[in-house]
Amino acid sequence: MLEKSLKNLPNEPGIYQFFDEKNHLLYIGKAKDLKKRVRSYFKFTPILAPNPTLSLRILNMLKQATSLEFLTVASEHDAFILENSLIKQLKPKYNILLRDDKTYPYIYIDFSDKYQRFDITRKVVKGKNIKYFGPFSSGARALLNALYLIFPLAQKRGCQNVKKACIFYQMKRCLAPCEDKISNEEYLNIVNQAVEFIGKPKEITKELKKKMELYAKALEFEEAAKLRDEIRQIEEIESFSSFDSTKLEDFDIFSISIEEKSACALRLFVRNGKVVSSSHSLVKSVYGFDLSELYHQVILNAYKEGSPMLINKIFIADEIDGTNALSLALESKHGKKIVIKNPKRGEKKELCTLAKLNAQRLLKQNKKSGLPEEIYSYFEFKDLPYRVEAFDNSHLGGESPVGAMIVWENDGFDKDSYRKFHLKSKDEYSQMRELLTNRVERFDKSSPPNLWVIDGGVTLLNLAIDILNSMGVNIDVIAISKEKLDAKSKRAKGASRDLLHTKNGTFELPTTDKKLQFFQRLRDESHRFAIEFHRKSRRKNLTSFSTLKTQGVSDGAIKKLIDYFGTFEKMRNASYDEIKTICSKKVADKIFYQK
């Protein structure tokens, strides 16, 4: 099959996919010329065999590959975008996988507003006279709070619609432009001063320290402590701010450091010739890395479609392949020309060198304890579990069923990535199927993890594996359950132990084992999160049930509506015609005309 596919490859741009004998996806690649690129993986004499000059990672992949599929596209940059999207959704075993889905915040101001004010956004804000500052990898909220503390700006979004001064005027934190106590010209002058101040974090922290001392002298220690914390956050922005360019340019710098199976990608944000912020992401792979491929993934991940694109230049610390196609891919996403270069001399070369040194330092500082490697080898997983999702569901006799997903990454819980799900199914097996299916369908928006942890036994383990296989996704799965001490027991008894189940069998580890304790901790956190969400949902549903009863809706009609919509919230958002179709005009009248 593989030889036949190689003969049929066209000389066109596109993406190609290698599969193993069980039809599991191994690798996705892109090409300007599919025939030339894919054939370069092989030598054809005296027999078809992998090209020995390839990296160890690709050689391992080709040893398992038995078939090949491809898709043609209009251009090479289209291939970039399609490859990036498919890798995130399908998680091939041998691709470099990045899960840094962050969109960094910007501070912005709309000069078309009557009383201009600063705010935070992660997306493009509609308007002709909007100015952006950032992005900021940390400290954006602290910086915004500092602006409103230092400058007497309009504090509320609704100031344009208010004609009376608020408490901020009495606190001397606002000059009440709403009561015309200050002219538009005077207010705009204050705004312009604040705009200049945003690029001077040292000046901001200096002013905040003065106010912190005043709070401390007035014995307002809580306010002083809050300012102290914000000062620390703003100081983090200054980590590279000693660099000043003679040219007031806006651009980003990317540098990648690789050490065996670990890599660190560092990004510097340069605005008006100054480094205003930095960010980094760490990634591990059992199969090692390809530098060019990793740069492609990092840069495409960094500029989300729909987020502000304030630069048109990107500088990288290494010479890589495919920069022209990468530029075109970004141009098609953001509608502006983007230049990607590896500088050879001058200030930008010095800054790339600085970024490289810092990426190497961060990589050495963030070497992990070794538990992911230990789990990977002990359970014979396909990938290192550095990002893990754990699932649980909760209900009370089938009522108000909910699901919960918690996330572990970089030695800690990533609570910003936790997710809640309202479920319709009544039994636990169906609820878990609904929960996991819901998560799989969102892989295109939120990249898959390395490992799933299921609160349950072998039955739920097999369910999770079947769902992933049906979507062609390669993710390791482990389930944790209590052992059954007798035939009648349905739940754990006091003396029972936790068992771990994978496709390779069931494992019974001692209670002192760190691997077992790790999965117990994930199970307990997912259980806590699910129960907490269930209690809130149930309280809300009980209130809604009482409201409908008061409106004269019968128990039977309420049950019919809940069975159809799943939650009271969806029912409240339903149209009159939907309610009328499901129940009757009489019920629709009771609900709608008494809302």
Cα dist. 556→166, 549, 584 in Å? 50, 11, 12
Nearby residues of 224 by Cβ (< 8 Å), 6 or more positions away: 212, 213, 215, 216
Residue 99 pLDDT level (bands cut at 50, 70, 90)? low
pLDDT category at 541 given cuts 50, 70, 90 is: low
The answer on 519 and 394 residing in a single domain is: yes
Q: Which two tokens stand for residue 460?
A: 């739920």
Pairing of strands 251-259, 313-316: parallel
End-to-end CA distance of the chain: 63
Residue 238 has pLDDT above 60, yes or no: no
Q: Domain containing 313 — which CATH number?
A: 3.30.420.10
In a domain, 278, yes or no: yes
Domain CATH number, residue 407: 3.30.420.340
Q: What are φ and ψ of residue 264, in 5° steps?
A: -130, 125
384 plus 499 within the same structural domain: yes
In this prediction, residues 401-430 reach a mean pLDDT of 87
Which residue pairs, CB below 8 angstroms and at least 24 apart, start in 506-511? 506/458, 507/379, 508/483
CA pair distance 86, 88, nearest whole angstrom: 5
Residue listed under structure tokens 């040292």: 202
Q: Are 202 and 238 in contact (CB under 8 A)?
A: yes
Q: How confident is the model at residue 242 (pLDDT cuts 50, 70, 90)?
A: very low
Strand partners, 274: 244, 271
- Backbone region of residue 5 per phi and psi (left: phi > 0; alpha: psi in -120 to 50; beta: other values): alpha
- Is 335 in the same domain as 466? no
- pLDDT averaged over every residue in the chain: 81
* One domain, residues 401 and 510: yes
Percent of the chain with pLDDT over 90: 20
- Going by pLDDT thresholds of 50, 70 and 90, the confidence category of residue 240 is very low
Separation of alpha carbons 178 and 368, rounded Å: 55
Domain boundary residue among 204, 223, 242? 223
For residue 135, pLDDT over 80 is answered with no
Flag whether pLDDT at 568 surpasses 70: no
Give me the pLDDT at residue 569, please.
67
Using an 8 Å Cβ cutoff, are 235 and 205 in contact?
A: yes
Q: Is the dihedral of CA 211, 216, 218, 224 positive or negative?
A: positive
Examine the domain organization and report whether 570 and 518 are in the same domain: no
Residue 396: band (very low, low, confident or very high) from pLDDT cuts 50, 70, 90: low
Say whether both 15 and 59 belong to one domain.
yes
> Of 528, 543, 569, which marks where a domain is finished?
528
Whether residue 283 contacts residue 265, with contact meaning beta carbons closer than 8 Å, is answered with yes
How many domains would you assign to the chain?
Answer: 5
User: pLDDT digit string (tens) for 30-71?
Assistant: 988 999 999 999 988 778 888 888 887 888 899 899 989 888
Which of the pair, 337 or 97, is modelled with greater confidence? 337
Residue 229 lies in a domain: no
- For residue 407, the model assigns a pLDDT of 94
pLDDT at 492: 47
Among residues 474, 493, 568, the alpha carbon closest in space to that of 22 is found at: 474
How many angstroms separate the CA atoms of 244 and 80, rounded?
34
Domain, as residue range, for 71 = 2-90
Q: What angle do CA 288, 137, 126 make, to 5 degrees?
A: 115
- Same domain for 384 and 521? yes
- pLDDT band (50, 70, 90) for residue 116: confident
Tell me how far apart the alpha carbons of residues 495 and 314 are, in angstroms, rounded to a whole number.
60
| Residue count (the chain) | 595
* Greatest mean pLDDT range, 93-107, 251-265, 451-465: 451-465
Q: How many CA atoms lie within 13 A of 484 on its CB side?
A: 9
Complete DSSP assignment for 263-309:
EEEEEEEEETTEEEEEEEEEEE-TT---HHHHHHHHHHHHS-TTS--
**Token representation of residue 559:** 């049950």
pLDDT of 23 above 90: no
**Residue 284 domain-assigned?**
yes
Judgement on whether residues 467 and 497 belong to the same structural domain of the protein: yes
Residues 6+ apart with CB under 8 A from 1: 66, 67, 68
Residues 399 and 445 in one domain: yes
Q: SS3 sequence, 42-102?
A: EECCCCCEECCCCCHHHHHHHHHCCEEEEEECCCHHHHHHHHHHHHHHHCCCCCCCCCCCC
Contact assessment for residue 142 and residue 171, using Cβ atoms and an 8 Å cutoff: no
HEC secondary structure over 532-591 = HHHHHHHHHHHHHHHHHHHCCCCHHHHHHHHHHHCCHHHHHCCCHHHHHHHCCHHHHHHH
> 258 with 180, same domain?
no
Q: Which tops the pLDDT comparison, 376 or 222?
A: 376
On whether the CB atoms of residues 245 and 274 are closer than 8 A, the answer is yes
For residue 511, pLDDT beyond 80: yes
One domain for residues 379 and 336: no
Distance CA(261)–CA(111), nearest Å, equals: 49
Residue-wise pLDDT tens digits, 117-133: 888 888 878 777 888 88
Is 302 in the same domain as 416?
Answer: no
Gap between the Cα atoms of 511 and 517, Å rounded:
7
pLDDT digits (tens, 9 = 90+) for 156-183: 655 655 567 776 776 777 877 777 788 8
What are the phi and psi torsion angles at 402 (to 5°)?
Answer: -135, 160
pLDDT tens by residue, 329-366:
888 888 889 999 999 988 889 889 888 988 888 887 76
List the CATH number of the domain containing 19: 3.40.1440.10
Model pLDDT, residue 455: 92
Q: What order do you get walking across the sheet with 25-31 strand by strand?
A: 25-31, 14-19, 67-72
Residue 207: exposure state from Cβ atoms within 10 A (0-12, 13-18, ≥19)? middle
Q: Quick check: is 407 in a domain?
A: yes
Q: Give the pLDDT of residue 254.
A: 95
| Structure confidence at residue 519 as a pLDDT band (50, 70, 90) | very high
Domain stop point among 43, 58, 90: 90
154 and 117 Cβ atoms separated by less than 8 Å: yes
pLDDT on residue 103: 67
User: Residue range 479-484: average pLDDT?
Assistant: 86
Residue 537 lies in a domain: no
Instruction: Decide: residue 292, CB within 10 A, 0-12 exposed, 13-18 middle, 19+ buried.
Output: middle
Whole-number Å distance between alpha carbons of 330 and 164: 47
